[in-house]
Amino acid sequence: MKKIHVLFLLMVALVTFTVSCKKSDTTATPVVLAPIFTVSPNSLSFTEAGGNSPVTVAMNGSSWTATSDQTWCTLSANSSSSASSIVTITAAANTSANLRTATLTFIMDGKTTVSVYVLQAAPSNLYPSYKDSIAPDAMGMSSDAKTLASKINSIGLNIGNTLEAMGGEIAWGNPMITNSFVQFAKKSGFNAVRLPCSWNQYANQTTAKISDTWLARVKQVVQYCVDNNLYVILNIHWDGGWLENNCTTAKKDSVNAKQKAFWEQIATTMRGFDEHVIFASANEPNAADATQMGVLLSYHQTFIDAVRSTGGKNAYRVLVVQGPNTDIGNTNTLMTTMPADKVANKLMAEVHFYTPYNFCGMTQDQTWGNQFYYWGAGNHSTTDLAHNPTWGEEAEVDRLFLLMKNQFVDKGIPVIIGEFGAILRTNLTGSAFQLHLASRAYFFNYVKKHALANGFLPFYWDTGGLLDRKNNTVLDQQDLDALIN
């Protein structure tokens, strides 16, 4: 009986254990599925005309919502609880001047996010065409860029702060350019001038039509130069920064549209001048990397194509394109190719030279370095040691110029030093001021001579401090002698 009783108790325990295990299994943690949330495709492109494009939304959640960060880009549905949905994305016609972008944000159950990126092209015909083409005319245009550079082969003068002045030709304190001043510049020893010029402020912002009065005025000044047997470079200068500050993919289309419209008008107006007249695409375009350099090259390409399209002597005119920031180092690194030209050997490259900045333009000592009041191995101060140069003297000029010689001149592409100069430090007195004056004169002479020796054409930046434009007199004989001799 005891054995039966023990056996019975063991059976009861086994049944109890089995039931207990089964009960425990029913309370195990349920399996949670990983969130699945997709929107396909995750990027869309629209033409300037706009239109519709579907995206498919799939999920394993309870619901999703969606928003657009741009009013021109809308969705046919902004929420759904379906496992699979098709949403139509609609882009309105692009009436702006630029390529534009939108971001669509889809969120499942308030926490899982997917973004869709939308790109819409800028209008391709933002402005009317101003091309007025005539048959090519090679008369008086026989020189290629290298030959023309050898004909100039001297110091040039910027007539700065005048035609490019925002607010009008005399808005920055200089008088209007006269034929007598151009004659005086020639007499003073310059055989070329650079005319920094503004156009955008004289243009209709809807049509890009430049004022006929302004076109005629600029042509008159160019005529003064040609009549006095001066070579002249005519550019689009800073001009409010519409090109210089916008070497970006977002602004590429709109800037190219304006560049084309402006140069079609400028080139047509100046088409009758012979090779004494040279056009320059821009001034100091801000490009800091390969992407921006690619955009800048597109602006130069538009410039070349627009000028060539007008025919006449423009079919053979020498043209100038600028390096990024017109900085020698950036140009050497980034401008590894030139834009295309249907005419061989008619392009020049342009850089500017304000090195070292501590001497040429810096106006206040900084924690990272002081101003340089003096320049050149023989012009160091023995008393004002804090403002002696610590870099950027003769050897640096030689090094930088050699970069441009190797990159361009040795390949048959002349280099324009479109601007160079150094500020006058009127805060100095006595022997310090005299040493500063000697330093400036030496700097100007060194840069000019070594520019010419490397095959460059240097243009001194003057805003009225070298030659008196009202009275046609020399204001700074020491610097003029340094530049001319």
The domains spanning 37-120 and 145-484 adopt the same CATH topology: no
pLDDT value for 29: 66
pLDDT value for 339: 98
Q: What is each CA distance from 275 to 142, 269, 414, in whole angstroms?
A: 8, 15, 15
pTM of the model: 0.82
Return the structure tokens found at 311: 């025919």
Alpha helices in 206-251 (DSSP H): 212-227
CATH architecture, range 37-120? Sandwich (2.60)
In the chain, which stretches have pLDDT less than 70? 1-32, 97, 124
CB atoms within 10 A of CB 253: 19
CA 98/CA 81 separation, integer angstroms? 37
pLDDT value for 27: 58
Instruction: Answer for the pair 371, 354: CB distance below 8 angstroms, yes or no.
Output: no
CA 149/CA 155 separation, integer angstroms? 11
CB atoms within 10 A of CB 433: 15
Beta bridge mates, 420: 353, 460
CA 282/CA 299 separation, integer angstroms? 9
pLDDT value for 8: 42
Residue 2's contacts (CB-CB under 8 Å, 6 or more residues apart) are none
In the chain, where the domains are located: 37-120, 145-484
Amino acid at 266: I
CA 104/CA 46 separation, integer angstroms? 14
CB atoms within 10 A of CB 320: 25
CA 103/CA 80 separation, integer angstroms? 19
Residues 147-187 pLDDT 10s? 999 999 999 999 999 999 999 999 999 999 999 999 999 99
Q: At the topology level of CATH, where does 145-484 sit?
A: TIM Barrel (3.20.20)
CA 217/CA 449 separation, integer angstroms? 34
Peptide bond into 458 cis (omega under 30): no
- Phi, psi for 31 (deg, rounded to 5): -75, 130
- Phi, psi for 379 (deg, rounded to 5): -125, 30
Sign of the alpha-carbon dihedral angle for 240, 242, 243, 248: positive
Q: What is each CA distance from 204 to 6, 242, 263, in whole angstroms?
A: 110, 14, 15
